[in-house]
Amino acid sequence: MAFPATPSNNDVHKVGNRAFVWDSTLGVWDQVREVDRSKNETFTDDAITSRDLTVTGDLTVTGTVSGDFVPSAPLSHRNMIINGAMQVAQRGNSGTATGGSGYYQTADRFIDFNNTVAATVTRETTNGVLGTENGNTFNDAFPCSWKWISTNSASPGSSDRIIFMYRFEGQDLQHLAKGTDDAKAVTLSFWVKSTQTGNHQVNITDDNSRMIGAVYAVSSANTWEKKVITFAGDTIGIIDNDNSQGMALEWWLCAGSTYSSGAVPTSWEANAAADRAVEQQPYSSATSRSWQITGIQLEVGSNATPFEHRSYGEELAMCQRYYSQVFIGIQAGKGNGTTSVGIPMIVPVPMKATPSVTLADDSLGFSRFNDSATNTDAPTGVDISGSDAWNSTFYCNVTGLSGGITDNRGYTIQSGTSLQFEAEL
């Protein structure tokens, strides 16, 4: 077969099982052998540059693949977010969202801060991402989501803000090489649905008082839309390699002038309050304004890969490092003074640190049995006086009992309530 008379650079011409690429610089056809799969042949030194390569059958690569390459097939442990599909909600499916501090409620590992307007937050289990939406390249489905909805209206004061956040331990971020010349970019992807169209802002902050931000736009109201954002690596500020907060993601719904009078920090900078919510929407200005999110993934590199779906059991175990509920039932206990009883409690997963502990319901009663008497009353509190080295077993003092307790005496304890252990960031 004759070669083309006037080829363009990188044109490919095939003759039998051989391929030739035109090099316009040298004015020659470079020969590249085609693979004969029947003979189990492979490419060695030949290459085709500046071309798409389509392979039918198996491809084996020996050596190093350069560039920011991520296979399209799922890889485990890509997603740095725990519970990104909102599968786990140990605290329940509903809560309130007003007050001057952040609250972990509904879906595990996510925190909301709202000192602006009365609102509710829910872990939704219906009307999620179905897999058929426009832009749903991987046909991902997310039945559960986190939803914020205003129940009143208010104008934000200068220091008011509404934020949805996720926090990371520093020791889980060391592979990002932050603060070095090899700092890695990360890509954030998520699904969002909102009553408010227009620009919104999402930021990353770190434990070195640094931040970077980006803008995403909600194009259609009340419609699930996928957003993908890549953040550059930061060569300044090494993240501490410990169990304290090393980084946070924050999605801003609305805020006052203290947080919105600057510019979106599209590159890493020192924390500046005025730059945190430059792009926002008036979620607090009327009732029934909502913002909903699910399918959150943060991964190394500049490409968004398919969402890493994990089993409920895996997600639950990872969430229990930070929060768990343990049913008291029947336990062996010991009198501590005359109004408290100590009981050892084992949590399902070793926790991040010694947790705080509360009674899930102090009205369910707390019975103490010994060889001569039975007493039942409602305790007023509980605290932790000791733990093992792995933060998996805690000695809990149930306090405020009515009396009839002998110090250091053994008791059988029975209660229908649970203890809530929390070691969130």
Give the count of beta carbons closer than 10 Å to the beta carbon of residue 25.
6
- Regarding whether 324 and 292 lie in a shared domain, the answer is no
What is the rounded CA–CA span in Å between residue 139 and residue 133?
8
- How many domains does one find in the chain? 3
Would you state the pLDDT for residue 103? Answer: 84
- Regarding whether 188 and 148 lie in a shared domain, the answer is yes
Distance, CA of 148 to chain centre: 17
- Regarding whether 293 and 154 lie in a shared domain, the answer is yes
Residue where a domain stops, chosen among 285, 317, 349: 317
- Regarding whether 108 and 39 lie in a shared domain, the answer is no
Encoded tokens for 162: 């509404």
pLDDT in tens, the chain (425 residues): 677 888 888 788 777 667 778 777 777 777 765 545 454 544 444 444 444 556 666 666 666 555 555 554 446 899 999 999 999 999 999 988 766 667 899 999 999 999 999 999 999 999 999 999 998 988 999 999 999 999 999 999 999 999 999 999 999 999 999 999 999 999 999 999 999 999 999 999 999 999 999 999 999 999 999 999 999 999 999 999 999 999 999 999 999 999 999 999 999 999 999 999 999 999 999 999 999 999 999 999 999 999 999 999 999 999 999 999 999 999 999 999 999 999 999 999 999 999 999 999 877 778 888 877 788 888 989 999 999 999 999 999 999 998 779 999 999 999 999 999 999 99
- Regarding whether 269 and 173 lie in a shared domain, the answer is yes
- Regarding whether 336 and 311 lie in a shared domain, the answer is no
- Regarding whether 311 and 222 lie in a shared domain, the answer is yes
What is the rounded CA–CA span in Å between residue 199 and residue 235?
28
User: Rg of the Cα trace of the chain?
Assistant: 29
Residue where a domain stops, chosen among 267, 289, 317: 317
Encoded tokens for 228: 């993908």
* CATH number for the domain that contains residue 355: 2.60.40
- Residues with Cβ within 8 Å of 59's Cβ and at least 6 positions away in sequence, in order, are none
Residue where a domain stops, chosen among 67, 82, 102: 67
The verdict on residue 81 lying in a domain is no
The verdict on residue 82 lying in a domain is no
Beta-ladder partners of 333: 411
The verdict on residue 222 lying in a domain is yes
The verdict on residue 87 lying in a domain is no
Sheet holding 18-23, edge to edge: 12-15, 18-23, 28-33
- Regarding whether 408 and 335 lie in a shared domain, the answer is yes
The verdict on residue 75 lying in a domain is no
What is the rounded CA–CA span in Å between residue 94 and residue 86?
13
- Regarding whether 266 and 181 lie in a shared domain, the answer is yes
Would you state the pLDDT for residue 364? Answer: 74
Range of the structural domain that residue 359 is part of: 320-422
DSSP E strands, 45-133: 94-96, 102-104, 110-114, 119-124
Would you state the pLDDT for residue 43? Answer: 47
The verdict on residue 52 lying in a domain is yes
What is the rounded CA–CA span in Å between residue 265 and residue 263?
6
- Regarding whether 9 and 155 lie in a shared domain, the answer is no
* CATH number for the domain that contains residue 205: 2.60.120.260
Burial class, 39, CB count within 10 angstroms (exposed 0-12 / middle 13-18 / buried 19+): exposed
The verdict on residue 74 lying in a domain is no
Closest C-alpha among 321, 400, 327 to residue 361: 327
Longest dimension (CA), the chain: 108
- Regarding whether 285 and 158 lie in a shared domain, the answer is yes
pTM: 0.84
Collapsing DSSP states into helix, strand and coil, what is residue 158? coil
Would you state the pLDDT for residue 418? Answer: 95
The verdict on residue 341 lying in a domain is yes
Encoded tokens for 93: 């499916």
- Regarding whether 133 and 57 lie in a shared domain, the answer is no
